[in-house]
Amino acid sequence: MRIAIAPSPLQLIDDAWLRDMGMQLYLKRDDLLNPTVQGNKWRKLKYNLLRAQELGKDTLLTFGGPYSNHIYATAAAARLFGFNSIGIIRGEEPKDKSYTLKFAASQGMQLVYIDRTTYRNKDDENYLHQLQLQYPNAYIVPEGGTNQYALRGVAELVQEIDVPFNYLCSACGTGGTLAGMVAGLKGEKQLIGFSSLKGDDALTEQIDKLVQGYAGESYKNYSVNFGYHFGGYAKVKPELTDFIKAFKKQHNVQLEPVYTGKMLFGIYDLLKQGYFPKGSTIIAVHTGGLQGLSGYKDWFPDVASEFVE
Ligand SMILES: *Cc1c(COP(=O)(O)O)cnc(C)c1O
């Protein structure tokens, strides 16, 4: 099995306002890596797929909620690379499956619903041991795909950047993606993660632990910003949807409201506040997630029609 990931394009955001401020903003278009296994989920799965093969496993088993981009990506990647897949889904089986779950099922993923209390054990050693006994041929990938193999895949992203820069920004869920970039940059430059969830220092500690585990070192050149979650995961506000619409109109780049929209809203807001020194070059990673837009009609019925074609 060979998995080649071609470097994703780096796109300069041409904006008079940015030029006047002497700033350069680039988008690292990981959303263009693969149409179904998008963005950071693809990078995070790469070495997990190779590891699963090395261990002789024929099944990928992972965890997620009914709207999880990771579930979507794992189902698609399993299908592409000839694995079976099992998705342990948080909560009761819904009467109407979300777009994500329908897609996962269409890729042959076996969906197993577990109650929210049991789901909280998803990282518990004993629970995972039980699952492994139940599914001996399964390679278990944690929620969000975040583990050491994920960091290795994401770390490759920073090698692809061929312009000088000062800041590297990413949206943050579990923090695995930011951790991979921190590991890849080895203490160079500044990194900012924009949390999509109401979070706290526990996320920063988790990122530090991941980086430590992978690189054997701790770096201090990153921070997680909790100022732009808009009320929490999958919560939106009109100013966010307006921003996403305006960004698309001006730059012809589609963002989504869960991760990349919040990150870019945050970057623009920090720019307005003068957070970045004049002359800075900022690279924002478009981590993808656009396949999720098709599901937003049932997820955000009030606002989806405003920014999804
Ligand atoms: C999952 C996801 C993230 C968050 O990645 P983590 O590694 O969990 O922090 C960011 N952007 C998009 C589009 C995602 O799907």
Cα–Cα distance, 46 to 77 (Å, whole number)? 9
Pick from 41, 22, 21, 20: which is nearest to 30 by CA? Answer: 41
Q: What is the CATH number assigned to the segment(s) 39-145?
A: 3.40.50.1100
Q: Which CATH entry fits the domain spanning 10-35+155-306: 3.40.50.11390, 3.40.50.620, 3.40.50.1100, 3.30.2290.10?
A: 3.40.50.1100
Distances (CA, A) of 291 to 38, 70, 121: 8, 11, 28
Q: Which of 164, 173, 171 is nearest to 144 (CA)?
A: 173
* Domain range annotation of the chain: 10-35+155-306, 39-145
Mean pLDDT of 257-264: 96
Q: Is 41 in the pocket of ligand 1 (CB under 6 A)?
A: yes
Q: What is the pLDDT of residues 74-132, one digit of tens each?
A: 999 999 999 999 999 999 999 999 889 999 999 999 999 999 999 999 999 999 999 99
* Residue among 211, 159, 177 at smallest CA distance from 70: 177
Q: Angle at CA 99, nearest 5°, toward 38 and 229?
A: 65
pLDDT of 168-215, one tens digit each?
Answer: 999 999 999 999 999 999 999 999 999 999 988 899 999 999 999 999
- Tell me the CA–centroid distance for residue 101 and ligand 1, in Å: 18
For ligand 1, mutation pick of 40, 42, 69 (most atoms within 8 Å of CB): 40
Residue 180: CB atoms within 10 A of its CB come to: 30
> What is the rounded average pLDDT for all residues in the chain?
93
Residue 295 contacts residue 178 (beta carbons within 8 Å): no
Q: Is residue 249 predicted with pLDDT exceeding 60?
A: yes
Fold: same for 10-35+155-306 and 39-145: yes
Ligand 1 centroid to residue 71 C-alpha, Å: 12
Q: Measured between alpha carbons, how far apart are the two ends of the chain, in Å?
A: 37
